[in-house]
Structure 1
Amino acid sequence: MVNFNGTLHESSSNLLSLENRGYAYGDALFETIKVVHGKILFWEDHYFRLMASMRILRMEIPMDFTMEFIEGEILKTVEANQLMKATARVRMNVHRVEGGKYTPTSNDINYNIIAERLESDFYALNTGPYTIELFKDFYVAPGLLSTLKTTGKNINILGSIFAKENNFENCLLLNTEKTVVEALNGNLFLVKDRVIKTPPLSEGCLKGIMRKQIIELVEKLEGYIFEEAPISPFELQKADELFITNCIVGIQPVTNYRKKEFTTEVSKLLIERLNMKIRLS
């Protein structure tokens, strides 16, 4: 079941036209959300990111787009797909209504919500082989727009194809200054000599919801120092540990980058703290 502007439909067929601005111009945003047994994880952070992103893109926010209203629509969709007693991956798409070319005729929006089942209720650490490489065919432009979760993800798509063709589990993206920004599907953290570092948003990385949770946990870790600072490609092979974060997987340790093998000590510690935080919230 698909939720389109508050109405449930059996499928997404015939709901979007060829003139849809998300399709025609990438004039759309999305949020990927994990819902565990009817509980939306980090919902307040998702909501405020969506509202801020809509304002930046000059979309008109409907009067009824309150936190409670959208939460209700998400849970209605989860229930319609019989996932209230399971764990679901929910995607909410928001796009400007049809009309115009580059210049829209209206800033009003439509939205749709879809849900699919996930296997794991809480976050589990994947300790299997996870090899990454740099993707250097195209570069991320630093700036505010790069931090938004928009539907224009050509670099991520091409990087994913490159990773698949070369048997890598993931790739890291570089910005135009040739510093490391993030992974294809999440934010990057680097551990070296008790310092845990992640690129600042000014580098062009996504304003990730899980990134925010991990930063809060890292800042409370005794014996570690947290830094938001640019990461050069040369630092990767000198690191003790690398891990990637997003709201669906939680924390994904990197095991190999070129000839370097990494530990997973901090990843294990943080995923325990993350699950504890969720249980207590």
Structure 2
Amino acid sequence: MSEIYINNNGEVRANTGATIQSGNRGHLYGDGLFESLRVLNGKPQNVEAHINRMVEGAKVLKIRIPNYYTAEFFEEKIQELLDLSGITQGGRVRISLDRAVGGTYKPESNEANYFLEVYPLEHNAYTLNYKGYEVDLFMDMRKQNDILANFKTKNALVYVMASIAAAEKQLDDLLILNPKGEILEGSSANLFVVSNGVLYTPGLEEGCLAGVMRMKIINLALANGIKVYECNIMPQNLLAADEIFMTNAVKGITWVGGYRTKRYFNNMSKKLTDLLNKSVVELQENTEEN
């Protein structure tokens, strides 16, 4: 297996030993953002959508982004790492964007630093889980609906605690609520509820993450004649649903088999996973033609 490489703000090196700078504000204070991307056929997926979200999040955090931090810039840097690391099939990428080193709670600078990591994955397509997830509600904490809610900031303790609580309950995941008791998402994925062939998903105004795969699935569904509504989702809606699935950029779609005593089908999850993989093939073919 090839050695895996990282890019620390322009310095490319092997991913062995310490790689981040002492005083990194993402490490010290969670003062930054991150994006997780899927790699298929050795190519990073949906780069522009991820970079757009990262740039918008940086504006909210008042981190100054250089003009050259474009989708093209990061795609080139990611591809360099994938090639060096010998990742020609499935993989994942993590982009970290942190405020520059210096200061305590009050930073000395609002300039940006980036950090890129790549890792191989076994599957070279979006694959649906064989066994449906078992889920429940996370009641110990609520996710605040504020200016940071739609972005992937490094202040992620609500997701960490939900994941730990799920493991303690021997469940696959717990669903996170906002202060009004509306269901937002899982610990690492957006949520979709299916009733009578219609998709329902929490709206961004409720405080869920503005997931890249969430929007990809919404657009795919609409393009294929499947109705989608963004609305508030309450616990009782789960009990009335025919199907529940979750989405994230790396896994694609994960179907839910049960919520408490309720059991679910996965017909829509299978259909959308097929459409998702088909869209990847079509995009690659169009790129090669051009």
CA offset at residue 188 of structure 1?
A: 0.1
1:164 aligns with 2:145: no
Q: 2:67 & 2:128 partners in 1: Cα distance?
A: 41
CA offset at residue 50 of structure 1?
A: 1.4
Q: 2:244 & 2:71 partners in 1: Cα distance?
A: 34
Q: Is the 8 A contact 2:64 2:112 kept in 1?
A: yes
- Aligned residue type for 1:206: L
| Aligned residue in 2 for 1:243 | 245
| Aligned residue in 2 for 1:53 | 57
Secondary structure at 1:144 match in 2: coil
CA deviation profile, 1:71-109 (whole Å, cap 9, x unmatched): 1111111122111x2211110111001112222111111
Superposition TM-score, scaled by structure 1 size: 0.95
Q: Is the 8 A contact 1:144 1:202 kept in 2?
A: no
1:175 aligns with 2:178: yes
| Aligned residue in 2 for 1:13 | 17
| Aligned residue in 1 for 2:236 | 234
| Aligned residue in 1 for 2:282 | 280
| Aligned residue in 2 for 1:99 | 102
| Aligned residue in 1 for 2:287 | none
Q: Is the 8 A contact 1:187 1:244 kept in 2?
A: yes
Q: Is the 8 A contact 1:143 1:202 kept in 2?
A: no
Q: Is the 8 A contact 1:200 1:230 kept in 2?
A: yes
- Aligned residue type for 2:105: Y
Q: Is the 8 A contact 1:26 1:150 kept in 2?
A: yes
Secondary structure at 1:207 match in 2: coil
Pick closer, same or farther for the CA change 1:225–1:10 going to 2, 3 Å.
closer
Superposition TM-score, scaled by structure 2 size: 0.92
| Aligned residue in 2 for 1:144 | 147
- Aligned residue type for 2:97: V
**Aligned counterpart in structure 2 of residue 40 of structure 1, from 41, 44, 54:** 44
| Aligned residue in 2 for 1:23 | 27
Unaligned runs of 5+ in 1: none
Q: 1:183 & 1:154 partners in 2: Cα distance?
A: 13
Secondary structure at 1:255 match in 2: strand
Q: 1:41 & 1:95 partners in 2: Cα distance?
A: 22
- Aligned residue type for 1:262: Y
CA offset at residue 166 of structure 1?
A: 1.1
1:108 aligns with 2:115: no
CA offset at residue 18 of structure 1?
A: 4.7
CA deviation profile, 1:191-247 (whole Å, cap 9, x unmatched): 11232100001111111000010000122333x431100000111111100000011
Aligned pairs, how many?
279
Q: Is the 8 A contact 1:190 1:243 kept in 2?
A: yes
| Aligned residue in 1 for 2:271 | 269
Unaligned runs of 5+ in 2: 284-290
Q: 1:12 & 1:135 partners in 2: Cα distance?
A: 36
| Aligned residue in 2 for 1:191 | 194
CA offset at residue 37 of structure 1?
A: 2.4
Q: 1:110 & 1:13 partners in 2: Cα distance?
A: 20
Identity of aligned residues (%): 35
Q: 1:10 & 1:277 partners in 2: Cα distance?
A: 33
| Aligned residue in 2 for 1:256 | 258
- Aligned residue type for 2:215: K
| Aligned residue in 1 for 2:288 | none
Q: 2:258 & 2:178 partners in 1: Cα distance?
A: 22
Q: Is the 8 A contact 1:141 1:204 kept in 2?
A: yes
Q: 2:25 & 2:89 partners in 1: Cα distance?
A: 33
Pick closer, same or farther for the CA change 1:220–1:37 going to 2, 3 Å.
closer
1:62 aligns with 2:69: no
Q: In the TM superposition, what are the counterparts of 1:201-216 in structure 2 within 5 Å?
A: 201-216=204-219
